[in-house]
Amino acid sequence: MRRGLRPPGRRHRRRGGRAVGPGGGGPRASARRSGGGGVTAERRRTLVTLAGLVLVWEVVGRLGLVADGALPSLSAIAASLVQNWAVYPPHLAATLSAAGAGFVLGNAVAVVLALAFALVPVLQRVTSTLLVTLFCLPIVVAAPILGIAYGGDWPKIILAALAVFFPTMISTLVGLRTVPPGAVEVVHASGGGRLRALALVRLRHALPDLLAGLQVAAPAAMLGALLGEFLGGRRGLGVYLLGSMGRAEPATLWAIGLVAAGISAAAYGVLGLVRRALGAHDVQPIADPSDSGAGAAGRPAARVLLALTGVVVLLCAWYAFVGSTGLPTTVMNTPLDVWHNLVSGANAGRTREALLPALGGSLLAAAIGSLAGIAVAWLLAVALTLVPAAARVTMPFAFLSQTMPIIALVPLIALLFGRGTLTVVVVTISVTFFPALVTIQQGLAKAPQGQLDVLRSVDASRWTTLRLVTIPNATPYLLASVRLAAPRALVGVLLAEQFVTGTGLGGLLGASRGYLDYRMMWVITAVVAAVAVLTYAAAEGAERVVQRRRA
């Protein structure tokens, strides 16, 4: 079998690299190994390419060619970091403490729920609405609510936990459910039940998937902690970043952002090394369309009943959260309060007058940015399939966009593109691009082996193979990227609006927080969550339609 190709449904233990398409392979897999020399040559070319990019950045920064110096040289960024290093330790300690606590808490809950769902699948079905809502709820709108509900570091910890929870849960659940049937049957034949099969077979098999989820969760924990620090406080990289935004010091902003990105990248890399040391295969959490949801198949009546049950569970969880805070409903609104303020109350019309124009502007920016990000990801994924060597130039920037927390990226993009709508769109592109790229690459790499062999037998060109087999096979993954992009796009738009432009829902949310308008804060939170969930559900439904037609 040619390197870089993976039959559908088969798990591989790979020593490095990721397959990205027919006849190609990932940037590592494309190196031809001849006594190890191919790997060395590939690494040498990668290092030379990175050195060239660093040199270009340095020259461009020194000459002030980008936005009158908004992109400083790397030497200026390093000088700022050295000059201000005495300020960093307390901020780093505060951020790492909150991110670490949230990472542990969120992942612990995720693993426990994944185990429960593997043992009792109906639990996932009845809680799916709640879980999808938690995934789709942009943490930027949850942050002010948590800041009201809890004191101390708890808002930062909970935001970090929310950011890491869903990827780890889904990734672990995929690993628990994709065990070879024969292994489980052996345990059952020897008298073991579900718990014994879980302990002896499923947990071991799910370890690579769990590690992949943890790897993705590490940068997300940093994002949650930094966003929580924007609520206020004395220490933390988020506090330092917020205080530096008003000063005309691009080098300081870039230094803070790159430090945050470096921490995220280090955690991502260490977990990746652990995963590879254990012989784990490459997996992308929440990217596989085959696990796009927990919806029930079967009769329409059963699906409707499960959907209604899911809504009831969500509403009960909402009431339980409000009750747990011990605060009056004038501050912590219930679902009925939100309905009254938005629909049936005396001031509902005034609320809608303020909300709807802001909502329209934010949704337009989110749609443009997410579609542009997915389109760029699609074109780049196809290009990397045709020319794998191009990954040496493009993937470092793509990886940087993944590891740098968006809250640190927003002011840097504002420096480059100004404080208008363009910045909002660019921020949205940056947060949707990398997940879409990895998801689409996964689909391109899973083209059916039999069809590929037929085209090779007639000496079809790489482009013909891509057009006839690889791209059609990746269509469900393209839809999966839309499903995953929706909540991220809203996060990007709301952050840019709240901290840069002051327009749209983000600006309205910031103003409501400043005026202590709890009523509007809860309305915005509920509306944004509903929009994100509906977009997610629509994309998930489109995935299922495509899969049924391809079946």
Instruction: Assess if residue 199 is contained within a domain.
Output: yes
d(CA 235, CA 87): 10
* Long-range Cβ contact pairs of 24-27 (< 8 A, separation 24 or more): 24/384, 24/385, 24/386, 24/388, 24/462, 25/388, 26/388, 26/391, 27/388, 27/389, 27/391, 27/392, 27/395
Instruction: Assess if residue 11 is contained within a domain.
Output: no
Q: What single letter denotes the amino acid at residue 188?
A: H
Q: Are 439 and 477 in contact (CB under 8 A)?
A: yes
Instruction: Assess if residue 309 is contained within a domain.
Output: yes
φ, ψ (nearest 5 deg) of residue 6: -135, 120
Give me the helix-helix angle, 154-177 and 139-149, nearest 10°. 130
Largest Cα separation within the chain, whole Å, is: 78
* SS3 track for 322-354: HHHHCCCCCCCCCHHHHHHHHHHCCCHHHHHHH
Taking the whole predicted model, whether its pTM rises above 0.85 is answered as no
Structure tokens that stand for 456 in this block: 């090779």
d(CA 239, CA 158): 17
Q: Where are the alpha helices (DSSP H) in 120-236?
A: 121-136, 139-149, 154-177, 181-189, 194-197, 203-229
d(CA 318, CA 254): 39
Q: Residues near 28 by Cβ (< 8 Å), separated by ≥ 6?
A: 16, 17, 39, 42
Nearest to 140 by CA among 521, 533, 484: 521
Q: How many other CB atoms sit within 10 Å of the CB of residue 385?
A: 29
The per-residue pLDDT for 83 is 92
Q: Residues near 310 by Cβ (< 8 Å), separated by ≥ 6?
A: 125, 126, 127, 128, 129, 130
Domain count within the chain: 1
Q: Based on the number of CB atoms within 10 Å of its own CB, is 38 exposed (0-12), middle (13-18) or buried (19 or more)?
A: middle
Instruction: Assess if residue 19 is contained within a domain.
Output: no
Instruction: Assess if residue 13 is contained within a domain.
Output: no
The per-residue pLDDT for 203 is 79
Q: Which residue has the tokens 């190709």?
A: 5
The per-residue pLDDT for 219 is 87
Nearest to 74 by CA among 247, 249, 237, 251: 251
Instruction: Assess if residue 20 is contained within a domain.
Output: no
Q: How many other CB atoms sit within 10 Å of the CB of residue 45?
A: 14
Q: Residues near 106 by Cβ (< 8 Å), separated by ≥ 6?
A: 160, 161, 162, 163, 164, 165, 168, 217, 221
CA distances from 522 to 225, 342, 528, 530 (A): 22, 10, 10, 12
Nearest to 99 by CA among 265, 232, 229: 229
Q: Which residue has the tokens 């990217």?
A: 287
CA distances from 333 to 288, 350, 354 (A): 36, 18, 19
Instruction: Assess if residue 7 is contained within a domain.
Output: no
Q: Residues near 217 by Cβ (< 8 Å), separated by ≥ 6?
A: 103, 106, 107, 163, 164, 167, 168
Q: Are 315 and 126 in contact (CB under 8 A)?
A: no
The per-residue pLDDT for 341 is 94
CA dihedral (186, 190, 192, 196) positive or negative: negative
Structure tokens that stand for 470 in this block: 């690889």
Q: Based on the number of CB atoms within 10 Å of its own CB, is 181 exposed (0-12), middle (13-18) or buried (19 or more)?
A: exposed
Instruction: Assess if residue 148 is contained within a domain.
Output: yes
CA distances from 247 to 110, 133, 411, 413 (A): 40, 38, 11, 15
Q: Are 532 and 137 in contact (CB under 8 A)?
A: yes
Q: What is the pLDDT along the chain (551 residues), one digit of tens a residue?
A: 433 333 444 444 443 333 334 344 443 444 444 444 445 776 777 778 778 888 988 898 888 877 677 788 999 999 999 999 999 999 999 999 999 999 999 999 999 999 999 888 888 888 888 888 888 888 888 888 888 888 888 999 999 999 898 888 888 887 887 777 777 777 777 777 777 777 777 778 778 888 888 888 888 899 889 888 887 778 899 889 888 877 767 888 889 988 988 898 888 888 888 888 876 555 454 444 444 444 444 567 777 888 888 889 999 999 999 999 888 988 999 999 999 999 998 899 999 999 999 999 999 999 999 999 999 988 888 888 887 777 666 766 666 666 777 777 788 888 888 888 899 999 999 888 887 887 788 778 777 777 777 877 887 777 888 778 888 878 878 888 888 788 888 888 998 998 889 999 999 998 998 888 999 999 999 999 999 888 888 888 887 787 777 66
d(CA 206, CA 212): 10
d(CA 200, CA 194): 10
Burial 239-261 (b: 16+ CB within 10 A, else e): bbbbebbeeeebbbbbbbbbbbb
Q: Residues near 222 by Cβ (< 8 Å), separated by ≥ 6?
A: 95, 99, 160, 260, 263, 264, 267, 405
Q: Are 184 and 73 in contact (CB under 8 A)?
A: no
Give the range of the structural domain holding residue 523, as residue numbers without chain letter.
37-550
